[in-house]
Amino acid sequence: MKEVITSHDTLPSPASQSAKALRFVGDQVRESYTPIRRLPPHFHSLIGSPNRRFSYRLVRELRAQNLLDAVDADSQDDPLAVMNIEPTMDGWQVYESGQNGELKQGYGFVALKFGDEVLDSFLTQHVKPGLNEQGLRIIDLRDVSRAGVIDNIMREQIRDADFVLADLSHDNPGAYWEAGYAEGLGKPVVYICEKSKFDQYKTHFDTNHCTTVMWESDKPDEFLRELVATIKRSFG
């Protein structure tokens, strides 16, 4: 398992994959309240696993933790495969906690306007690596793009995040919505804004009284110091 983890750095962590596996099973069973006969052939891609074998090992681990109920499929083609899969009562409790945003997957989600050269450069060259050095991994929707309804993927990423970083420099409606969704789930939200924009126009009145960390593209170190301190304070 260690070899898989170290050679697929862009994949979700095994813990995150396990959470996605439990969520997938819960979502499917909740539709009909009958166990899943067999997992779909592309199950591993749905939860971000590198291959089918690894995803089956995660499902078996969830069974060992008494979060899933399943029986061995006794398949020669897939010896690790299981069938008749459904959450246990403990599994349903963990599933509901995940639906309510109570589970955390060890990252921060960035809500922002896409396609702005200055912001994109500032984010990729300074903010992401700078926070990563402090043990604070952040992602935006482009980092997790995959097949599926983009709104559902976005909700899932916010729901699993430890905190949300919302850039309001462009008054982007999506960034405001995503921040509000995170606030509704009880997630810490840290607002940031380009300094000259904030000085001249402020942000929406619903957020202009909230702590907002200003950034200037030519002063990344100063911004990062204040941002890191603000994020750490937000965790109490």
Q: What is the pTM of this model?
A: 0.72
What is the Rg, in whole angstroms, of the alpha carbon atoms belonging to the chain?
20
Strand partners, 109: 139, 164
Give the integer Cα–Cα distance in Å for 159 and 45.
Answer: 20
DSSP 175-189: HHHHHHHHHHTT--E
Q: Delimit the domains of the chain by residue range.
A: 2-99, 108-234
Which CATH number applies to 2-99: 1.10.3720.10, 1.10.10.10, 1.10.275.10, 1.20.58.760?
A: 1.10.10.10
pLDDT by 10s per residue, the chain, length 236: 443 433 445 677 898 899 999 999 999 999 999 999 999 999 999 998 999 999 999 999 999 999 999 999 987 778 899 999 999 999 999 999 888 777 777 899 999 999 999 999 999 999 999 999 999 999 999 888 666 678 888 998 999 899 999 999 999 999 999 999 999 999 999 999 999 999 888 888 777 778 899 999 999 999 999 999 999 888 75
108-234 belongs to CATH 1.10.1060.10: no
Sheet containing strand 212-215, edge to edge, reads 138-139, 108-111, 163-167, 189-194, 212-215
* 168 residue type, one letter: L
Closest to 167 (Cα-Cα) out of 118, 219, 218, 235 = 118
Strands of the 68-72 sheet, one edge to the other? 36-38, 82-87, 68-72
3-state helix, strand, coil in the chain (%, to 5): 50, 15, 35
Q: State how beta strands 36-38 and 82-87 pair.
A: antiparallel
